[in-house]
Every structure is written in C-alpha cells, then in structure tokens.
Amino acid sequence: MRKLALAALLLFMPAAVLAEEAKDMAKNPVIEKRMIALTSKLRCLVCQNESLAASQAGLAKDLREEVREQMIAGKTDKQITDYLVARYGDFVLYDPPVRSYTLFLWGGPFLFMLGGAGILAYQLRKRRKAVRAPELDAEAQRRAAALLEGKEK
Amino acid sequence: MMRYIVPLVVFLALVGLLYTQMESGIDTHLVPSPFIGKPAPAFALPQLLEPSKKFTPADMKGKVWLFNLWASWCESCRDEYPLLLDIAQNQHVTIVGLDYKDKAADAKAWLAQAGDPYALNVTDVEGRIAIDYGITGVPETFVIDKHGVIRYKEVGVLTPDNLKNKILPLVAKLEQET
C-alpha cells in the first residue's frame, strides 16, 4: 500500500511542479504565447542544449518569469533580448549575430562552396581532356567510313 | 598516389585539431561573461544577519572586494568554503556574500556551524539580483575593483590554483590602483 502511495506521489509530482507555471499561463495567454515564442529562440544557461522555453532548470524558470514581467511592463521582444544579452552575452542567442568572431561561422559555408566549385571545375576540365575523341589518321578514317557503309565486316 | 595522400593529410589535420582542442582544457560549457570591465550592477538588498540594514555595492567604493554568490543548499559551495575561510583568516581581501534563493534560517545555521568568512551577506530570496549579475548557477565569484568595476569572474567552485595564480595576484594589483 505504501509503495502504491509512493508511486502515485511520484507520478503526480511533475504535474504539481508544472501546475505552478500553468497558473500563469491561464492568467494571460497572450503574454504566455509571446513569452514561449521568444524564449524558444534563447538558450538555457544551465542545460545549454535546451531552450529557455523547454528547460525545467530553476534559473530558466526565473528567467521566464523575468521575461513575462517585462512583457507585461510593455517591453518589446528586442528590448528583452538585449536585456538578456547584456547579462549572458551572445551565447543566449540560438541565432548568432554577425560579429568579427562569428565571421567564419557565417562565411565558412560560402568558403566551402567556393572550394567545392573549384574542385568541380578542375575535375571537369581534367575529364574533358580524358574523354576527348582520339584523332583518326587517314587509314582509320577510311576504315570507319567503310564500316559505316557496311562494305567491310 | 595523390588520391591517397590528400585524404590522409586532411584526416591527420582533423585529428590534430580535435586533439589539441581536447587537451587545451578549455571548458566549452563556460559562458564568456560580458561583465568584465563593466560596473557591478547596482542593488540594495537586506543583510542576512541584520535584515533591517541594506547593503549596496556603492558602500564598497574605494575597496577591492570579492562578491561570492552561494547558498546553504549548494553542495559545491561547500567545496570552496575552506578557501573562503582561508582568505578571510589571512585578511587577503574583503568578501561580501550573496545568499542565493535560500532560507535565512538555513544560511545562518550554516554560517554558525562552518564559520563565517564574509564581511557581510545579502539575501536574494528570489534570485533576481543574481540574474542581473548573469548568474548561471552557484557558486560564482566576482572580483570588483575600487571603482566598482567587475574585473574577474570565476564561474563555479574556486580552486586553490585559480585563487593563488589568478585571483589573489589580481587583487594585489588592483589594490595598487588608485
């Protein structure tokens, strides 16, 4: 019986934890939708592979609350993002801005594409040489013509 | 022959790159702090031991100090605790603590039991001020200079090595600045 009670407790515990945030959600669905949309584009600083919207880390919850409050206070998404970047750096952004140290990140694919195009051009040129029809001398020309006309077997 | 050598060279270069990155000891999980060289964010929080009194970073103008974010529930904060006690005992530098999302009773009990290296502690029950300091978890330690500018940030547990080779020399250097 006690085991069963414990199992039930464990089963409903996550629901109880989530309910805390669900209350906020019911209170202001418009803000909540905006908050989720914005925090989905931001990285959780604790788990780092989860978005701020998805993370259950304590800090992520606090930051969501902060975002929520700033939205209610009428701040724009840009202002809130800037607020977070000022504290946590560009690292919170899943979409990294173009900076001197992200140039390779943004330019890299084009470099690789250029490199690929170069290799392709080189290979094509090599291949064209390799498959160029061999020159026929006069004798071969004569035989070829005869073959085409069916005079020779 | 070339068709074998080129991939081999590329492969070895890649192995070399991955190996040096692995051995460099750079922790890619550490978030570079945008705070270094910026003024420590202002706040006014009640003190842990005297809640009627408030503390603000401006009170420390003219002093070099450590700002240590901790909590009584934080296991890894206990790992660095001997170092904090050592700093306080040898009077290397003033340490101000921020008790992060903690119960005052728990924090007081811990200080009474383990010793108190802090000049004073402030309580940040909701963790909002910690967010202003770009916290990712406790413990974190800031070195703040005489003008209230953050000069160094240690994310996570202080190590004897970092304390001896980075923090204390920096504090000594900052003490010389006017």
Give the separation between CA B12 and CA B24, rounded to whole angstroms.
Answer: 18
Name the residue facing B137 among A46, A86, A91 (closest C-beta): A46
Worst-scoring range by mean pLDDT, A41-50, A53-62, B48-57, B99-108?
A41-50
With bands split at pLDDT 50, 70 and 90, how would you rate the model's confidence at A145? confident
Q: Which residues of A touch B134 (CB under 8 A)?
A: 87-89
Q: pLDDT: is A96 or B129 the higher one?
A: B129
Give the separation between CA A146 and CA A153, rounded to whole angstroms.
Answer: 9
With bands split at pLDDT 50, 70 and 90, how would you rate the model's confidence at B8? very high
- Residue B164: CB atoms within 10 A of its CB come to 11
Interface of A with B (CB under 8 A): 45-46, 48, 58-59, 62-63, 66, 85-89, 91
Name the residue facing A88 among B127, B134, B137 (closest C-beta): B134
Check residue A143 and give its pLDDT.
Answer: 87
Check residue A51 and give its pLDDT.
Answer: 92
Give the separation between CA B152 and CA A8, rounded to whole angstroms.
Answer: 48
> What is the pLDDT averaged over residues A114-143?
87
Predicted TM-score (pTM) of the model is 0.74
Mean pLDDT across chain B: 92
Given CA atoms B97, B98, B99, B104 in this order, what sign does their dihedral have?
A: positive
Interface probe, candidates B3, B29, B135, chain A, greatest A C-beta count within 10 A:
B135
Q: What pLDDT digit, counting tens, does each position of A106-115 carry?
A: 999 999 999 9
Residue whose token pair is 């119960």: B103
Distance from CA of B134 to the nearest CA of A (A): 5
Give the whole-number percent of chain A exceeding pLDDT 90: 41
- Residue B112 Cα distances to B3, B70, B94, B138, angstroms: 72, 15, 19, 20
Name the residue facing B136 among A46, A85, A86 (closest C-beta): A46
- Residue A22 Cα distances to A9, A62, B41, angstroms: 19, 14, 32
Check residue A26 and give its pLDDT.
Answer: 64
**Could you report the predicted ipTM of this complex, rounded to two decimals?**
0.76
In chain A, where the domains are located: 2-97, 103-149
pLDDT at A153 over 70: no
Fold of B35-176: Glutaredoxin (3.40.30)
> What is the pLDDT averaged over residues A83-94?
89
Looking at the structure, give the CATH architecture of the domain made up of residues A2-97: Orthogonal Bundle (1.10)
Cβ contacts of A75-81, under 8 Å, gap ≥ 24: A77/A34, A77/A38, A80/A38, A81/A38, A81/A42
Q: What pLDDT digit, counting tens, does each position of B70-106 carry?
A: 999 999 999 999 999 999 999 889 999 999 999 999 9
Q: What pLDDT digit, counting tens, does each position of A20-39 carry?
A: 565 666 678 899 999 999 99
Burial class (CB in 10 A: 0-12, 13-18, 19+), B134: buried
Check residue A79 and give its pLDDT.
Answer: 95
Check residue B142 and give its pLDDT.
Answer: 95
Report yes or no: A57 and B138 within 8 Å, Cβ to Cβ.
no
Distance from CA of B4 to the nearest CA of A (A): 16
